[in-house]
Structure 1
Amino acid sequence: MTPPKTRARALLPWLLCTVLLATVLDAAAATRAWLDRDRIELGETVTLNVETDALTASPDYAPLRADFDVSGHSSRRGMAMGSQGGARSLFAVALRPRRDGVLTVPSLRVGNERTAPLSLVVVPTEQRPLAGAGEDVFIESGPDHERPYVQQSVGWVVRLYAAVPIVTGSLDQPAPDGAAFQRVGDDAQYSRTVAGRQYQVIERRFLLVPERSGELRVPGATFQGRGAAGFFDDMFGGGRGDTLQARADARTLDVQAIPAQAPQPWLPLHDLQLRYRANPSTLRQGHAATLAIEVIADGATASQMPELELPPIDGVQVFAERPQVDETFVDGRPRVKSTRSFSLVPDRSGEVRLSGVEMDWWDVGTGKGRSATLPPLRWTVQAGTGASAAALAEAVPADAGAVAGQVAAPASGDVSVPGAPAERSRRYWALAAALFAALWLLTLLWALHQRTSTRRAGAEDTDRPNGRAGTTKPTAEALRKALDTGSFDDVADLLCAMATPPAGSVDALAHRLDDPGQRAALEAMQRARWADGDGREARARLREAFAEGPRWVATAAPADAPLPPLYPPG
């Protein structure tokens, strides 16, 4: 039996780990709130979610009652994963606005913290006839655009209305032929009054991208389920306890071809906006300053957007950072907001000029080509003064909400390119990692002293799997979806993983392909990823080349062994 003192010494490092974990989680405490939708009709409800790691506190909903009817309180506790992991509580409440307009969901107190205020757009109730209104269950479905163009992102929304409680059921929307079709996001749930009856609505969103012009038939969505039986249903049978069924009518879209006069790359949208998010007021030779540009595209996904680039600036080196992308679903269609920062490092003093930024697109509403532009910028570059690397090129926000971090380059001419701003909690986790490493080392020393971990360590070294062995190879369907809506990084990872054994890089992958067209498509993708290639053209070539999957170089069968085996086969 292990002596009590020895057991206490063994438990001490883990007790310290627990205490330090609780301390770090408390230091990095965060409380946030969000709405499941930011635009609704008057009479509908919207769900307000509040997440916090203050486990003994709950939100004070009193400020909400000025503009909202509050109902449907719920809460749950669990463990969150990731850098903000730990025990967390999630609260949810249904809000029904009392008026239309742009309403503000006020800041709520949760323990010692407060949530940020939120905006909600409430539009007047649209008086539109709904087929099936008055029934126990019915389905409404349709696109955001009846006559889309080829390769236009079309939002498809399916709404299931239920006036009776549903115990179980299945809502299915078949995919059409001749278009990429995939589900987007999570279901939204709210209530709405239709034809004098109160319905619970389940809203499911899809993204439809037509692949060819002409008629596109989209099958109707279907629902099959069972409602909760009432007292008389249990006694006499039938009624609401029976099976519930609903079916929406099929819809036919008239898909238009790409106009001959359309700008290239082809970018069909409802709206496109550009603006400077951060603009340095001055530049200093050898120092880095940040210029940030925001793009908001109404009617596109991130994979459809061309990369935003700056035109050359004489006397200034430009280093582009990875875009920060936020994809949402607004007014029944996709919307993407992309913010890209550029580090400007002048190599001479004097006047420098950015000629402006321009992005061409096709207005699907008016059927005309348009261009979004930003005005040119001028700076006076100050001569380098030999200042230390801590000197920063001052950046002035282009509007009240603009924030950009900057990192200066050493005066000697060695330039350091600024990266993304560090999160507030990173320092806490860096401290926690160092403390946990020290405690782990103490525990390991104690284990070695007891001579109990030698066998375990050897077994782990012997049994550790090698590389990707045992993982499931991606399917052709996964590759097709990545070619339709994924990034070039996703496509490269999938193709490398489909090789046997998996390829370590795109260059290694190209050597294993037997089809010259597929190798050429990979080269076009690499130019679009790392050089000045056309991303849309590269995606089209990838879809065509890999429509039937990769074609690998045939591997010769191993030759017969020149010598007999050392031991006869068993």
Structure 2
Amino acid sequence: MVKGVLLAAVLLLSLPLQALTQLSASVDKNPALRGEAVTLEVTANARVAADAINFRVLEQDFTVMVPSVSTSTQIINGQSSQSTIWRIVLLPKKAGSYTIPAFTLQGLSTKPISLEVLNETAQNNTNSNTELFLQGSIEQQQLYVQQLSYYQVTIYFNGDLQRGSLSEPQMDGASIMQVGQDAESTELVNGIRYRTITRRYAITPQRSGNFTITPPTFSGEMIDRDSARYNYFARTKTVVQQAEPIDVVVNAIPANFPGNWLVAGLVTLTEEWSPDITELKQGEPVTRIITLSAVDVAENQLPDLTQGFPDGLRLYQEQPQAKSAERNGRLVAQKIFTTAVIANTAGELELPEVSLAWWNSQTNKLEHARLPVRTLRVAAIAGAAEPTTTISPALNVAPPLATPASSSEASPWQWNYISSLLLAVWLLTLLGSYVLWRLKAPVRPAARTQSRVRFNSSELKRACKQGDATAAKAELLRFAHQQLDKRCQSLTEMSAYIHSAELKNQLIKLNAALYGNSNAWQGEHLWQAWQQYDAGRKEAGASDSLQPLYPQ
């Protein structure tokens, strides 16, 4: 057996190369419908190189797929014959009359072929029972530069589709991206039930002018219905189809448009404060979050905002965060602007209007997204306000306090009665506080959230001394989690639970160093502010504990 195979191989290799005597060309259909694939077959009766014929001359009138080349050798009654066959799938770019030119090889030439492409698509041909065809469409054919529009291509097929691939549409000077996932459905066309696969693309032109969208091409394998009737193991056949080209006009940006160009279906501005405020407190940080949302816009098209904060504020702005998502087949983009705000002086502050100009692609008009003017009242620091409100009233109130003393001299019984009553009330208050403290005492340890890594003030000190901003932040958030029982995700959130203006100030500076990617942060002041805060917190805890009712 092995010897027979080797002998046959030797005989094939020893055969002389057959001289080329015939060269022919043919197409599988003529006429063809617009958007329908035509297969050109060129046959040579000799074995020749696969690249012996150049088919690029066809690219002017057709979309040319990659040629497939096959060679064969037959021996019949000692006579050998060889052949080379090229098969090329052609997609006519438009309807009309075409001439497939002659191809020359080793002195022989094929005959030119006249091909007629009818101005009628497969899906609109009432006499056609096409197994597969494509339809392409775009929402708007009149666009502006950087205006996003949706191109949709649908594959219709009523046979057994085994596999396939779909190329992307092309357009000069435009960015193209797929939107969402493919959608499958069914549809009746000319009384025939087709299964459909729909794919959407976002096309954004980057320059003005007249352009043509080169449609996507589908190439796949389907069960050959004719072979399936007579053979259980049915053969497959290659199907190639293309949608129709679409012309698009792209207009230039209006010359009188104010600000950075933004064209969208809808644009909104929203604002929130964390924590929610009715007034600012001098020296205490709050966070202003502005969200810019736009429909039919990619996230990289959203511009920055000019907020125009007035003087008298310290600002720490984070890097804007942009993101996008698909909603019901449309792109929705958002850009979030986060700013930590600290008021330096008490009084009233007016935050100016935030306005963003944009071009409405639905109404073709200029519009503005706005946040109205906001007036904020800044309360003074509690420590600075207390002397002005307590010293002078105390001087005025002190003389009337002598009145009960003078009346007590006239009526000792009345003085003793009032004193006894006040003493009883005070003792009852102490007793009630003691009972409540005893009731709450067993619950407090259980309420404290545990963590695998305990807060360590020595680690915080080390991070501050070494200028390690990341380690300092981690240790401070661990303190808030374990000691304050607050699951803070950021230093800004933690500062809302800190009652030390200086420590809050240092937290803001630490946050600014982290967001600003600064390596020059010095933690000495933060450590000092922390020590003062921690000492005050411990003193407050000690003063809250009750002394014995009957000290020894």
TM-score range, shorter chain: 0.3 to 0.5
TM-score of the superposition, structure 2-length normalised?
Answer: 0.44
Structure with larger Rg = 2
Q: Which has the higher contact order (CA 8 A, sep 6+)?
A: 1
TM-score of the superposition, structure 1-length normalised?
Answer: 0.43
Structure (1 or 2) with the greater helix fraction: 2
